Structure 1
Amino acid sequence: MKHKETPHIKPNGAEIAETILLPGDPLRAKFIAETYLEDVIQFNEVRGMLGYTGSFKGKRISVMGTGMGTASMGIYSWELIHVFGVKNLIRIGSAGAIQDHLNLYDIVFALGSSTDTNYGHQYNLPGNYSITASFDLLEKAKKVADEQGQKVHIGNVLSSDIFYNADATALQKWSDMGILCAEMESAGLYMNAAHAGVNALCILTISDHIFRHEQTSQEERQTAFTKMMDIALELA
């Protein structure tokens, strides 16, 4: 029987679990697999987008990088859902804070995903679609965080197509509407999951504070954001 594959994911028959963690950085996926999982197999290396499946506390779970931006997340999450049968997709990523009460290393659960992307035009909806997380995963993640004694922020985030914005006032406008932080992938993930009837949640660690010009290092973003990993892994 021919193994399932896509132009971007080629497992060669290796297992992809129904629950998958999706960091943007493939090196973070490698770190998670090597640090937390047992009986690990690598299921993808196409385009350097590393993917692994292993066991965590006896349950099978996968982890794979997605790259940056809605387009990249849109491709990988669509293929994981529709070709490989993934049911629970948990983005674990970094974000830039735009509220004063957020600090470096704080954890944010993206209840909603406001966006400037046009990704949703494909659905031809007769109005504005409210992009939200799957409540089932969000509720479970909050319970895990409480059990671990981890403080989290839950609210609306900005999922933007623009990293270097020519409009210097844009982020302040989003901040004025109560947006907690900015990232680039949650909107595409949430829309793909909703349209397919599967679960998605975005768990973020604050890697920089945009208005205060504070930031973590690249190495810290790969390996030091362990609190959100501890929460996400328990969702398997």
Structure 2
Amino acid sequence: MTSPSTPHIDPKDAPIADVVLMPGDPLRAKFIAETYLEDAVCFNQVRNMLGFTGTYRGREVSVMGSGMGIPSISLYSHELIHTFGVKTLVRVGSCGGMQEGVGLYDIVIGQSASTDSNYLSQFGIPGTYAPTGSYRLIERAVAAARDGGHRVHVGNVLSSDIFYNADESALQRWMRMGVLAVEMESAGLYANAAAAGVEALGVFTVSDDLVTGTHTTPEERQTAFTAMMEVALATVTA
């Protein structure tokens, strides 16, 4: 019996775990698999959106690129949940810090995800829905970050559709509302997970400090991203 497939994920009988880490960059998915997973096998190469499954501390774990933006991660997470039975999805990526004290290399955990996207309108909610991460995963991620000696912040992030905004004052207004950081995917992931009754969380490394205007170098990002990956892996295998 052949394994299921979708137009975007074709595992060709390779396994997909019920726990998936989702970096935006498929090459970062490859890096995680090669660095941390034992006996990793590739389960997807469609459109070069690489996915791998292996074991970490004896637990089967998959990692797959999500692409950039809510439309991309929402497409892949929907297929992982509804076709392949994934129960836990953790986004791992970079973010821009938006508050004083949320500095370079810090880890941000998305308790909730505000957005300027229209993605949530499809659910027909008679009001304003607040996409929220799994509290069980939040507790685990905070503990893992503290155990690793990392500075960690938990709160509201902004999942923005806009990287280059014509309105240069837009981020300032989000900052005034206490939003910790900006990224581009988590609101869609959280909404998909909530609609399906599964768990999701976003764990980020601050790569750019939007308050001070400082940013990390490519070499520095490698180390910072590694810490975040280890926190996410500890979270899903606790």
TM-score by length of 2: 0.95
**Distance of 1:215 and 1:84 partners within structure 2:** 38
Matching of residues 1-236 of structure 1 within 5 Å: 1-218=1-218, 220-221=220-221, 224-234=224-234, 235-236=236-237
- Report the alpha carbon displacement of residue 222 of structure 1 after superposing the two structures with TM: 5.5
Which sits farther off after the overlay, 223-232 or 197-206? Answer: 223-232
**Distance of 1:86 and 1:222 partners within structure 2:** 28
Which sits farther off after the overlay, 220-229 or 16-25? Answer: 220-229
Which sits farther off after the overlay, 38-47 or 205-214? Answer: 205-214
Q: Which runs of 5+ in 1 are unaligned?
A: none
DSSP-derived class of the 1:121 partner: helix
- CA offsets, 1:105-148, max 9 Å, x none? 11000001011011111111111111110111111212222333
**Distance of 2:209 and 2:137 partners within structure 1:** 27
DSSP-derived class of the 2:47 partner: helix
Contact in 2 for aligned 1:28/1:223 (Cα 8 Å)? no
User: Against the structure 1 CA distance between its residues 123 and 218, is the aligned structure 2 distance closer, same or farther, given a 3 Å change threshold?
Assistant: same
Indicate the percent of aligned positions where both proteins have the same amino acid. 58
- Report the alpha carbon displacement of residue 2 of structure 1 after superposing the two structures with TM: 3.1
Contact in 1 for aligned 2:2/2:12 (Cα 8 Å)? no
- CA offsets, 1:163-190, max 9 Å, x none? 0101000000000000011000000000
Q: CA RMSD in A?
A: 1.3
DSSP-derived class of the 1:225 partner: helix
| Counterpart amino acid of residue 136 in structure 1 | R
**Distance of 1:156 and 1:115 partners within structure 2:** 10
TM-score by length of 1: 0.96
In the alignment of these two chains, the number of paired residues is 236
